[in-house]
Amino acid sequence: MRLGILLTFCACAPLAVAQSADQAAAAAERSLDRPAVLIVPFPPGGSADRVAKVLAASLGTALQRPVATRYVAAGAGTEALKQVAQPGDGEVRLGYATSTTVVAGSLLGGAAAYNPINDFDWIGIVGTFGNAVIVGPAETAPTFDAWMKSIPARTRPLRAGVGAVGAMSTLAAQFLAGKLGVPAEYLIVNRADEGYALLSTGQIDVLFDGLPNALEEAPRARGRIIAVTSARRATPLPDVPSFSEPWPGADFSLFVALVIAKAESDAARARARSGWHEVNRAGAARAQLEAMGLRYLGVEQPAAARFIDDEYVRHARLLSEFPQLPQRP
């Protein structure tokens, strides 16, 4: 009798395995039936928009299906990741995650509706970029060093246009004012074009804007990039100094990552990871993003999760070093 039971089990096992494989394939196929969308935590325009469009197009090619972009700027970008953390029945949601939304948003935004470590599958780390330090058309100092030497002699506070509270651009501006030993006023601009308008009319002395956007918009506004806030010089600007040159170790670059909810189906998550792997293998996105000033990393799992752990600690430490600015009314 035992032998009969054993033979019956053995005969059925290949069928069960085949059925399981068929079910997994069917689930993967169903995951491809839903539209894919990359949710961006900033309004159109700006560095996030430029980088996200490259990523969406590259992922679309890798996945052989369109990947739309959706902009959700509410809550300093935290609303976007909140939507990503809650999978939708009618779409596969990918998230464009940055230092601002992952670290500053979760630490300064009160009770967050998501846990950036536990609620997301970190598909990959795209790369990092710094902010450009931009002066307006009335500025005559020819270099970053000459500009810095001229600031203490001025009779009014340094006026800087920055991003969100706790963003790397804001922390970099606070760091700079501290190093110069001058009082400063920080104007949080909600859109990059607003910042360039203020710079061109002399209402601010300096603007901190993400390098991918600044490379295009600064010349149009008759602005001049005199430094970058990253530890390294940017490839498109080999003659422009980085923050680490006058201040060794200074680095206010921000990361760009792709995430998907851990609550999503295994098939959808696996498909997203394979798509990111194919983007890395193809190399076209890397060339485009490096031309925008992004230091391309192309990190995949499991190294992506370790990278985020380290970056979370780094950004949190920087937040602790500078006073929190009041939110813009």
Domain ranges across the chain: 33-129+254-321, 131-228
Q: What is the pLDDT of residue 225?
A: 98
Assess whether the region 33-129+254-321 and the region 131-228 belong to the same CATH fold.
yes
Query: Which residues, listed in sequence order, are joined to residue 37 by a DSSP beta bridge?
Result: 68, 93
- Nearest alpha-carbon partner for 186 in 161, 157, 151: 161
More confident residue, 88 or 146: 146
- Chain-centroid distance, C-alpha 174: 21
Query: What is the model's pLDDT at position 25?
Result: 46
Residue (of 309, 258, 227) closest to 122 by Cα position? 258
According to the model, what pLDDT value does residue 166 have? 85
pLDDT at 88 over 90: no
| CATH of the domain spanning 131-228 | 3.40.190.10
Range scoring the smallest mean pLDDT among 94-103, 175-184, 261-270: 94-103
Give bridge partners of residue 254 from the DSSP assignment: 129
Per-residue confidence band for 328, with pLDDT thresholds at 50, 70 and 90: very low
pLDDT at 31: 55
Q: How confident is the model at residue 106 (pLDDT cuts 50, 70, 90)?
A: low
- Please, which pLDDT band fits residue 245 given cuts at 50, 70 and 90? very high
The residue assigned the tokens 């706790």 is: 166
- Whether 101 has a pLDDT exceeding 90, the answer reads no
Percent over 70 (pLDDT), the chain: 85
pLDDT one-digit tens code per residue, 177-203: 999 999 999 999 988 889 999 999 999
Taking the C-alpha atoms of residue 28 and residue 267, their distance in angstroms, rounded to an integer, is 5
**Number of other residues whose CB lies within 10 A of the CB of residue 106:** 20
pLDDT interval class at 6 (50, 70, 90) = very low
* CATH classification code of 33-129+254-321: 3.40.190.150
Q: Residue 118 has what pLDDT?
A: 86
Q: Which strands, in side-by-side order, build the sheet including 131-135? A: 184-188, 158-162, 206-210, 131-135, 224-228
Of 57-61, 112-116, 151-155, the one with minimum mean pLDDT is 112-116
pTM value?
0.87
pLDDT score at 5: 34
What does the pLDDT read at residue 109? 60
Beta bridge partners of residue 295, listed in sequence order? 128
The residue written with tokens 């295994």 in the block is 266
Q: Which pLDDT belongs to residue 325? A: 67
Helix, strand, coil % in the chain, rounded to nearest 5: 45, 20, 30
| Residue 329: pLDDT over 70 | no
- Six-digit token string for 178: 């501290």
Q: How far apart are CA 87 and CA 190, in angstroms?
A: 28
Strands in the chain per DSSP E: 36-40, 67-71, 92-98, 120-129, 131-135, 158-162, 184-188, 206-210, 224-228, 254-261, 295-300
pLDDT of residue 108 exceeding 70, the answer is no
Can you tell me the distance from the alpha carbon of 285 to that of 289, in angstroms, rounded to the nearest whole number? 6
pLDDT (tens digit per residue) in 43-86: 898 999 999 999 999 999 999 999 999 999 876 677 888 899 98
